[in-house]
Amino acid sequence: MNPSTNYECGMLVEGFDSPPMIQMTYNPPYYPVLMDGLGLRKAKDFYAYLQHSDTLDTNKIGRVADKALAKHAVRIRSIDMKNFDADVEHVWEVYNSAWERNWGFVPMTREEFLLQGKEMKQILKPDLVLIGEKEGRVVGFALALPDINQALIHTNGSLFPTGLIKILYYQRLVKNVRVLALGVVEEYRATGVAAGFYVALWRNAKRLGYGPSEMSWILEDNVLMNRSLTAMGAKRYKTYRIYEWN
């Protein structure tokens, strides 16, 4: 964990045939073998799913999601870049509430979360950062980022002398997005509101010209989320592992 589950964490144990998306880890296949040899054992696995926007039936799923949003009077909007810090602070409150019971979760401080938002602001697309409100109260959010790794990989780890130019050039060609976080407050978790966020993200991503979307990471025992993603046609394609000593 680097330094907690709020950041990059886990060792890749399945899915070595494709590069990692933004803020996901990568390691050679022999690393898990070394961990087993040292006597470490699995503490928890978590998954990454891949969904192609052109294979998702947003009409069928969208009807169900739109109905859930209407039933519970939840309005989804894009983040307001003119009031960015205020929106990020509202999201911070939902984030700590929505994840408080997750395995390994450590609450983020306000300052820590605002700094994360400031760093992501450089690459985010407003229509991929969604906020759900009911009567002025933020009840959920979804965050997806363009996979800037698709541009960074062309620099071979060096910004100079031409690395920055390559990033600017290849950034325009990025077609993947990663859904980093999607959370709703407890009273809305089994209502279909979360599906409304997913559908809104996919609709916006497709409109912006993006294709494959990664949803990560999902705890192996998060039954509701794993079932929902599978039902929507997403494929599990990477597995990450947290190890612990016996």
**Residue pair 177/145 in contact by the 8 Å Cβ criterion:** yes
- List the CATH number of the domain containing 129: 3.40.630.30
DSSP letter for 180, please. E
* Token couple for 34: 């070394």
| Residue 207 parent element (H or E) | helix 193-207
Report the pLDDT averaged over residues 176-197: 92
Question: Which tens digits make up the pLDDT trace of 137-182?
Answer: 999 999 999 999 999 999 988 888 888 889 888 888 999 999 999 9
In a domain, 6, yes or no: no
- Please, what is the end-to-end C-alpha distance for the chain in angstroms? 18
The domain tally of the chain equals: 1
Gyration radius from the chain CA atoms: 18
pLDDT over 70 percentage in the chain: 98
Predicted local confidence at residue 55, as pLDDT: 67
Residue 94: give the domain boundaries: 11-245
In a domain, 197, yes or no: yes
Question: Which tens digits make up the pLDDT trace of 23-47?
Answer: 999 999 999 999 999 999 999 999 9
Half-sphere exposure of 139 (CA within 13 A, CB side): 22
d(CA 94, CA 139): 7
In a domain, 123, yes or no: yes
